Amino acid sequence: VEWSDSERKTIASVWGKINVGEIGPQSLARLLIVYPWTQRYFGTFGDLSNAAAIQGNPKVAAHGKTVLNALDKAVKNLDNIKATYAQLSLLHFEKLNVDPGNFKLLANCLTIVAATAFGPAFTPAVQATWQKLLSVVVSALSSRYY
Ligand code: HEM
């Protein structure tokens, strides 16, 4: 993957403004509400019975933060995203048995949550770069499935 200087700048700037403790929990909660079949992977997380329960669930919030902190690794290793996520990809495949189609769904939720948080600053150009970053992450997370 090639990144232009302007894409690198956009990613650094967007990432610098992301509040991991808000965007992470909101994105994971949105995944579980909008695509309820994704709840099957989080059987140990307690009450996911309705939107309010999911949004108020501390395990969802904590794990959303974990996921977003993992994205920080992509931002810091733009030229090496595939290798950066090799272990995490294997974990989601072999141990967690997560269907890789779900990575795309979480990426969609991250985009909507980011757009809501940024408002008009989330221009089409910013969205394009953001989604490029997420698709490289999704592809890296799927890369060790066999
Ligand atoms: C665990 C990252 C998408 C299900 C994890 C962990 C990280 C992570 C860093 C912790 C790994 C560890 O403990 O060593 C990501 C990233 C994603 C992503 C960066 C996409 C951008 C998904 C999706 C699902 C999922 C879409 C399911 C729908 C899980 C589950 C765990 C986990 C069930 C274990 C949670 C627990 O029991 O604590 N993920 N993940 N992940 N992930 Fe993902």
| 67-76 pLDDT per residue, tens | 999 999 999 9
Both structure tokens of 120: 């008009």
Which amino acid appears at position 71 of this protein?
Answer: L
Q: How far is it, in rounded angstroms, from Cα 129 to Cα 54?
A: 30
Determine the pLDDT at residue 104: 98
Distances (CA, A) of 38 to 30, 98, 142: 11, 9, 17
Check: complex ipTM more than 0.85 = yes
pTM value is 0.96
pLDDT of residue 38: 98
pLDDT in tens, the chain (146 residues): 999 999 999 999 999 999 999 999 999 999 999 999 999 999 999 999 999 999 999 999 999 999 999 999 999 999 999 999 999 999 999 999 999 999 999 999 999 999 999 999 999 999 999 999 999 999 999 999 99
Ligand 1: residue whose CA is nearest its atom 22 = 103
Does the Cβ of 74 fall within 6 Å of ligand 1? Answer: no
pLDDT in tens, 103-113: 999 999 999 99
Predicted confidence at residue 99, as pLDDT, reads 97
Q: Whose CA is nearest to atom 5 of ligand 1?
A: 67
Angstrom distance (rounded) from CA 38 to CA 19: 24
**Candidates 38, 66, 135, 137: which one to mutate for ligand 1, based on the most atoms within 8 Å of Cβ?**
66
What's the confidence (pLDDT) of residue 140? 98
Instruction: Write out pLDDT tens, residues 71-93.
Output: 999 999 999 999 999 999 999 99
Enclosing H/E stretch for 111: helix 101-118
Token duo for residue 8: 């690198």
